């Protein structure tokens, strides 16, 4: 498999990169980790005229926590960095659970979280996780930066809201106001498979009460699903068997799965339900253990 011909530029600064994208006039594509884009080029499902490789732009490979608890992930932070991150393992359970489930270990050495959000594959894991966390994508263009909630960033299968001369430079998880808990469960037939169905849950609690909740669904619709009603069912009360059941029912209702060779629509919906219950029940159990 051989990509079709394209021009290639590897700018050293974001400004140069944005300039190049503008001159590319919509026929240009940004190359970061390349773990989705390069296969698409090889299959000739993508045939850009210009490839703007941002890997040589310094200062984008970070992930860090601000003093207020905001998590920032640069455009060149690789999945493997997140998998090994003490920042996540100690403070962000939903992301920590998802990081090892992205693709396979070798792909994780190159692929990036921000690139994955931009790719907007309905079966992409990070989009659900960031949706559950109420995350943002920071896009930089000629006129400066803007911040877009992930739930609005992805507009459809393989579509995002970036203008042709904008680059997603950072993903942001807002600082939590309470104690965080959550998880990510993915049904895959083997390592590296796309999700048959995946569920990301992120909650914040203050005392017994849940103050914020987010539930993102992977692989059960034309795009990542923000299960808003399911999340709402959890907020303002303590986690209980009843609220878990309601959230699971609502999440399953929010799913829009299609039957394919990975499973029937009915099954995928059922898995969404099961996974919501499992993640939330584990949170309850570990809270009980801690108490």
Partner 1 sequence: MTQALDEIKIGGLGASRKRVEDNRFVRGKGNYVDDIVLPGMLHMEILRSPMAHARIRSIDTSKAWAIPGVRLVLTGEMMATRNLAWMPTLSYDTQAVLATDKVRFQGQEVACVVADDPYIAKDACEAIVVDYEPLPVIVNPRQAMAEGAPLIRDDKENQHDNVVYDWEVGDRAGTDRAFEQADLVSKLELHYPRSHPSPLECCGSIADYDRSTSKLTVYMTTQAPHIVRAAVALVAELPEHMIRIISPDLGGGFGNKVPVYPGYVISILASILLEQPVKWIEDKTGNLISTGFGRDVYLRGELALRKDGKILGVRMHTDADHGAFFSDAQPSKFKIGLMHSAFACYDVPTAHLTARGMYTNKAPGGVAYRCSFRVTEAMFFQERMVQAAADDLGMDQAEFRRLNFVRDDDFPHRTPFGFLTDSGQYGKCLDVGLEAVGYQDFLRQKEEAKKEGRLLGIGISVMTEPLGAGNSREYDILGIKMFDSAELRVHMTGKAILRTGAKSQGQGHETTWAQIVSHELGIPAEDIVVEEGDTDTAPFGMGTYASRSTPVAGAAVAMVSRKIRAKARKLAAHLLEVSEEDVEWELGRFYLRSAPDRGVTIQECAMAAYSNMPDGMEPGLENVSYYDPPNLTWPFGCYIATVEVDPETGVWDVLNMVAVDDCGVRINPMIVEGQIHGGLTEGFAKSSMQWITFDEEGNCIGSNFMDYLIPTAWETPRFELLETCVPSPHHPIGAKGVGESATVGSPAAYVNAVIDAVAHLGVRNIDMPLLPDRVWSAIQSAPSG
Partner 2 sequence: MTSLYEEISPDPPDNVPVRRVTMTVNGEKRAADVEPRLLLAHLLRYGFMLTGTHTGCDTSNCGACTVLFDGKAIKSCTMLAVQADGHDVETVEGLATASELHPIQEGFKHEHGLQCGFCTPGMMLAAKALLDENDDPTEDEVRWAMSGNLCRCTGYQNIVKSVLWAAEKLRAEGRS
Using CB under 8 A, which of 27, 53, 61, 193 touches partner 1?
193
Distance CA 124, CA 60 (A): 22
Binding partner of 7, given partner 1, partner 2, none, CB within 5-8 angstroms per partner class = partner 2
Instruction: Please name which of 150, 169, 172 lies closest in space to residue 161, comparing C-alpha atoms.
Output: 150
Instruction: Please name which of 236, 243, 172 lies closest in space to residue 205, comparing C-alpha atoms.
Output: 236
From residue 92, give the alpha-carbon distance in Å to each of 87, 95, 137, 203, 221: 7, 6, 18, 10, 26
- Least separation in angstroms between CB 104 and partner 2: 3
Binding partner of 109, given partner 1, partner 2, none, CB within 5-8 angstroms per partner class = partner 2
The angle that helices 265-290 and 241-254 make with each other, rounded to 10 degrees, is 150
Using CB under 8 A, which of 17, 18, 21, 34 touches partner 2?
34
Is 4 near partner 1 (CB under 8 A)?
yes
Q: Compute the residue count for the chain.
A: 291
Binding marks (x or -) toward partner 1, 78..107, rule CB under 8 A?
Answer: --------------------------x---
Binders of partner 1 among 262-281, rule CB under 8 A?
A: 262-264, 266-268, 270-271, 274
Instruction: Please name which of 190, 127, 193 lies closest in space to residue 155, comparing C-alpha atoms.
Output: 127
Is 231 near partner 2 (CB under 8 A)?
no
From residue 103, give the alpha-carbon distance in Å to each of 93, 112, 119, 240, 253: 19, 11, 14, 34, 27
Using CB under 8 A, which of 16, 19, 39, 161 touches partner 2?
39
Is 194 near partner 1 (CB under 8 A)?
yes
Distance CA 261, CA 258 (A): 10
Burial of 241 (0-12, 13-18, 19+ CB in 10 A): exposed
Span of 99-107, 203-211, 224-232, 240-248 interacting with partner 2 by CB under 8 A? 99-107
Span of 21-29, 156-164, 219-227, 259-267 interacting with partner 1 by CB under 8 A? 259-267
Span of 9-17, 21-29, 54-62, 186-194 interacting with partner 1 by CB under 8 A? 186-194
Token pair in block for residue 271: 């898995």
Say if CB 174 and CB 136 are below 8 A apart.
Answer: yes
Distance CA 131, CA 100 (A): 18
CA triple 104-10-34, angle to 5 deg: 15
Instruction: Please name which of 185, 202, 212 lies closest in space to residue 275, comparing C-alpha atoms.
Output: 185
Is 55 near partner 2 (CB under 8 A)?
yes
Using CB under 8 A, which of 28, 51, 172, 251 touches partner 2?
51
Binding partner of 271, given partner 2, partner 1, none, CB within 5-8 angstroms per partner class = partner 1
List of residues contacting partner 2 (CB under 8 A): 1-8, 10, 31, 34-35, 38-39, 41-43, 51, 53, 55, 80, 103-107, 109-110, 191-192
List of residues contacting partner 1 (CB under 8 A): 1-5, 43-44, 104, 187, 189-194, 196, 260-264, 266-268, 270-271, 274
């Amino acid at each position: 498999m051989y990509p079709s011909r394209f021009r290639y530029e590897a700018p050293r600064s974001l400004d140069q990169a944005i300039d190049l994208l503008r001159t590319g006039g919509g026929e240009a594509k940004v190359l970061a980790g390349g773990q989705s884009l390069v296969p698409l080029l090889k299959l000739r499902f993508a045939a850009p005229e210009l490839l703007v490789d941002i890997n040589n732009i310094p200062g984008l490979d970070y992930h860090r926590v601000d003093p207020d608890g905001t998590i920032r992930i640069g455009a060149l932070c690789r999945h493997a960095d997140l998998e090994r991150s003490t920042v996540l393992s100690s403070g962000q359970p939903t992301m920590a659970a998802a990081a090892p489930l992205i693709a396979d270990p070798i792909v994780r050495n190159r692929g990036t979280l921000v690139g994955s959000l931009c790719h907007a594959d309905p079966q992409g894991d990070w989009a659900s996780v960031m949706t559950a966390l109420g995350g943002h994508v920071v896009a930089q263009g000629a006129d400066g930066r803007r911040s877009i909630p992930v739930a609005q960033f992805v507009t459809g299968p393989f579509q995002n809201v970036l203008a042709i001369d904008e680059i997603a430079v950072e993903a942001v998880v807002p600082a939590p106001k309470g104690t965080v808990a959550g998880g990510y469960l993915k049904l895959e037939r083997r390592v590296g498979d796309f999700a048959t169905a995946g569920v990301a849950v992120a909650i914040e609690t203050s005392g017994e009460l849940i103050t914020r909740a987010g539930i993102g669904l992977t692989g059960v619709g034309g795009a990542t699903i923000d299960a808003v009603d399911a999340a709402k069912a959890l907020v303002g009360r303590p986690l209980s068997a009843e609220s878990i059941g309601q959230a699971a029912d609502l999440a399953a209702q929010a799913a829009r799965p299609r039957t394919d060779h990975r499973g029937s629509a009915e099954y995928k919906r059922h898995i969404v339900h099961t996974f919501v219950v499992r993640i939330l029940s584990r949170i309850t159990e570990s809270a009980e253990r801690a108490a």
